[in-house]
Structure 1
Amino acid sequence: MKDALSSRVPARVPLVTEPWGILKSLRESRKNVLSIIPDIATRQPMVSGKTGKRWHMVMDPQAIREMLLDRLDQYPKSLVTKNLLKPAIGESLFIAEGAHWRWQRRTAAPVFTHRNMMNLAPIMTRAAERAAERIAAAGPRAVNMLDEMVTTTFDVIADVTFSGGDTFDRDGVHRAIDDYIAEAGKVSLFDILGLPDWVPRPGRMIAGNALKEMKAVADRAIDARRDRGPEGVPDLLDLLLAGQDPKSGRQMNTGELRDNLLTFIVAGHETTALTLAWSLYLVAFDQSVQDRARAEAASVLQGRAATAEDVEHLPYIRKIIDEALRLYPPAGMVSRAATHHDRLCDRDIHPGDTVIIPIYALHRSHVLWDDPDAFRPERFDQKPDRYAYLPFGDGPRICIGASFALQEAVIILATLLSRFRFKPVPGHDPEPVMILTLRPKGGVWLEADAA
């Protein structure tokens, strides 16, 4: 859908300006979860209502801090979130709560140290090179950069997760993930009404067959690696196999390893691919930004692909990525279930209430951001309020792979901008649509000319 709201701002979601009933909310949420956000959420600190059950949308940074940091255990992930993701990633870091989450986090945290991320960076550089070669080979025709970035980031996550693993069926895992997101990620009426997860969701039952095979493939690859042992630079599987909880000494079994690896694969390629696709859309939308970014990349890279050592010398390209994450956060909405009575923004929260952080609205708040719908990377010359900008969440449950994703995005974007000039294809503007993640519906079609 073309952005008819304004010719000077990039694509955005039309937000709700009138009350909706439960059936319309369900119907529209299955098309685009973000479409149920009221426009007033971009102008107020909190909005409350009732659609089957009481809900609150929170856009106030201090209240969000209380939810994500001060009173984290009072706001566990909602049943809707768990019902959507548990069939794919089990009781992994992303879903687990309490003690089960804490020991997994302690075990996995050392895997994502700066040293390990630097060691894995050459894989990102090689993937960026291959992407540039594919784009160049496509010639003068338009390229769907969403598909290209999905391919590129999946290459990265597959290599850093199961490097040298002939037993790992990359294509099969990729297809199963895409099928699950497409068929099972849509919000069910059973989720809205809070029915338990043992009540069957037909779409998720269909997608579940592919997931079973994907898990079996992952289990075989893990067992084979455990028998073989590490070779060369340790990848994520090697590091997790060697990891143990520093408090209890507990190590992950095959099922726990598999669920966490699948979490990293899903989160580690889908979200970064989307960030890169939206970044490329935005630099094609504003050629002056693209010119400045290309000049920075050309000056630093001198004709070669970017490396981890270059990342700190590419600050403007990092700001483009930050701004893309603000305008199009991959997780555009997160949902929590209140377990205790509380007060947020001087409003009562009751046990059982659904408390939503609509990150898409938070990042476009007229209270918190100047000209919030505009694409302006320079706004990140100053660091925003910590709880006004949440592309990776925050608090103890902040995304464990955030530094990995940002390093990868800068390496790939800088490499591509140093070699190509991207131009939009008329009539092919993407539409921001969120089911599980905020995707550009219709793809990101760009022409790529040699720079």
Structure 2
Amino acid sequence: MVQNAFPVRVPLVTEPMGLWKSLQTARRNVLAILPEIATRQPMVSGKTGKRWHMVMDPDALQHILRERLPDYPKSDVTKNLLRPAIGESLFIAEGAEWMWQRRTAAPSFSHRNMTALAPVMTAAAERAVQRLAANGPKRAINMFDEMVQTTFEVISDVTFSGDDAFDRDGVHDAINNYINTAGKISLPDMLGMPDWVPRLGRITGDRALTEMQKIADSAIDRRRKSGPPKGAPDLLDLLLAGADPESGRTMSTEELRDNLLTFIVAGHETTALSLSWALYLVAGDQERQDKARAEAQVVLQGRCATGDDVPKLPYIRQIIDEALRLYPPAALVSRTALKDDILCGRQVRRKDTVMIPIYALHRNHLLWDQPDSFVPERFANRKDIPRYAYLPFGDGPRICIGASFALQEAVIILASLLSSFRFTPVSGVSPDPVMILTLRPEGGVWVMSEPLPRVH
């Protein structure tokens, strides 16, 4: 898509849309149904089939996500879209079912375990650098495709390491097939109809999902029989060994599979998106790219980044944070109110849909200076940013369990790339921010990649 403005943004709605137009718009780009005033007000309410509220006020968001979490479960629309792919996993489950899974999985994502998995990220960064170098000087590359490949290598290696029989391509193709077909919102979803009402897109998507689940089940069964591979335990080993510290309950093969597929989908897609948007942003701002490269080259001295380097790369982290602000992968999430409540002085009724448009929150003029501009320095002092004004991984008890994993991976890969290459935009071509299940750069992130001399 050709666009002149940098950085690109989603054109938001300036006049009300009816149900049919909202549905057509949402199937192409969910974010295009957001009203422009959501970037200038703390809360916006309306009715499209059913009553809804969009909340951009940090205090109200803390109320929803932390103080009254049980009263605001994930909406039926969200569950209906994702349950066929990831079952009753951590992302979908509520209440006691969610709690025991969270307690069981949390130790697997400890700082110690994430540090032990960092070499897998470094190895993937090294392969990405080699692939880009093999393309030669000044050749246009779609960095979205490259980052999807790189991050999928990471998540499959940390999930099913040493399993040569695991069909990575089959799982990857099934994920993309599901997102592109069954992941689109339908009229029954918009009207809040129950899950048994057929959604046409899911017929195609379900075939791919069935195959993906078979592949994962087989890999889990093989690991149960063979035991862990040599070296640091991978995510599957950690989850197989995990048990709820309160009840002693362990995960069945089906529960393991659903959670592993959740981690695979979320663990590679969100990081690939963060890196793709970050590369788009630095390609369009050579001054900040030079600043980031200088930091990376001083620390790395000609090699790829490791887990130990991450704390020494604060500006690289700021660029990742700013990319997540401008283009949050989960850019719109929704909840269903189970009880009457008051938010921002406005009445919320039981069964109302309460949306958290993170895209609009991160660009809200009441919360951010120059909200549509690329300014990574705003994250130099995180204490200056209200906690619930910035939610790339959610917050409260249900904050993304893999947030530290994703940030470590993103810093390692971005630093490794920037220390080795200069990236410049392809003239006249910009990505189009489109959200189906995640906020993707439609058309790809096309940049020119120029290898740089090694710094020792």
Tell me the TM-score normalized by structure 2: 0.98
Q: Is residue 117 of structure 1 aligned with residue 114 of structure 2?
A: yes
CA distance in 2, matches of 1:256, 1:181: 21
1:439 is matched with: 440
- 1:185-241 CA distances to partner (integer Å, 9 max, x unpaired)? 110000011111111111111110111011011101101101111122100000000
| Residues 422 and 446 in structure 1, CA contact (< 8 A), matched pair in contact too | yes
Letter in 1 for 2:58: P
Q: What pairs up with 1:322-341 in 2 under 5 angstroms?
A: 322-341=321-340
- 1:395-442 CA distances to partner (integer Å, 9 max, x unpaired)? 000000000000000000000000000000012100100000000010
| Residues 3 and 10 in structure 1, CA contact (< 8 A), matched pair in contact too | no
Q: Is residue 99 of structure 1 aligned with residue 100 of structure 2?
A: no
CA distance in 1, matches of 2:211, 2:35: 40
CA distance in 2, matches of 1:35, 1:64: 22
CA distance in 2, matches of 1:86, 1:138: 40
Q: What pairs up with 1:28-427 in 2 under 5 angstroms?
A: 28-139=25-136, 140-231=138-229, 232-383=231-382, 384-427=385-428
| Residues 128 and 411 in structure 1, CA contact (< 8 A), matched pair in contact too | yes
| Residues 3 and 429 in structure 2, CA contact (< 8 A), matched pair in contact too | no
CA distance in 2, matches of 1:145, 1:404: 21
Q: State the Cα distance separating 1:168 from its structure 2 match.
A: 1.1
Letter in 1 for 2:208: A
CA distance in 2, matches of 1:310, 1:319: 15
Secondary structure of the corresponding residue to residue 139 of structure 2: coil
- 1:150-181 CA distances to partner (integer Å, 9 max, x unpaired)? 00000000000000112310000000000000
| Residues 121 and 308 in structure 1, CA contact (< 8 A), matched pair in contact too | yes
| Residues 420 and 449 in structure 1, CA contact (< 8 A), matched pair in contact too | yes
- 1:23-48 CA distances to partner (integer Å, 9 max, x unpaired)? 00000000000000000000000000
Secondary structure of the corresponding residue to residue 2 of structure 1: coil
Tell me the TM-score normalized by structure 1: 0.99
Q: State the Cα distance separating 1:3 from its structure 2 match.
A: 3.6
Letter in 2 for 1:427: G
Q: State the Cα distance separating 1:59 from its structure 2 match.
A: 0.3
| Residues 323 and 377 in structure 1, CA contact (< 8 A), matched pair in contact too | yes
Letter in 2 for 1:141: R
- 1:215-270 CA distances to partner (integer Å, 9 max, x unpaired)? 01110110110111112210000000000000000000000000000000000000
CA distance in 2, matches of 1:296, 1:157: 27
| Residues 43 and 366 in structure 1, CA contact (< 8 A), matched pair in contact too | yes
| Residues 11 and 431 in structure 1, CA contact (< 8 A), matched pair in contact too | yes
- 1:121-176 CA distances to partner (integer Å, 9 max, x unpaired)? 00000000000111111123200000000000000000000001123100000000
Identity %: 71
1:26 is matched with: 23
| Residues 33 and 434 in structure 1, CA contact (< 8 A), matched pair in contact too | yes
Q: Is residue 2 of structure 1 aligned with residue 7 of structure 2?
A: no
Q: State the Cα distance separating 1:382 from its structure 2 match.
A: 2.2
Letter in 2 for 1:245: D
Instruction: Report runs of 4+ in structure 1 exceeding 3 Å deviation.
Output: 1-4
Letter in 2 for 1:355: V
CA-based RMSD? 0.7
| Residues 3 and 12 in structure 1, CA contact (< 8 A), matched pair in contact too | no
Secondary structure of the corresponding residue to residue 387 of structure 1: helix
CA distance in 1, matches of 2:381, 2:301: 29
- 1:281-320 CA distances to partner (integer Å, 9 max, x unpaired)? 0000100000000000000000000000000000000000
> Where does the alignment leave 5 or more consecutive residues of structure 1 unmatched?
none
| Residues 84 and 185 in structure 1, CA contact (< 8 A), matched pair in contact too | yes
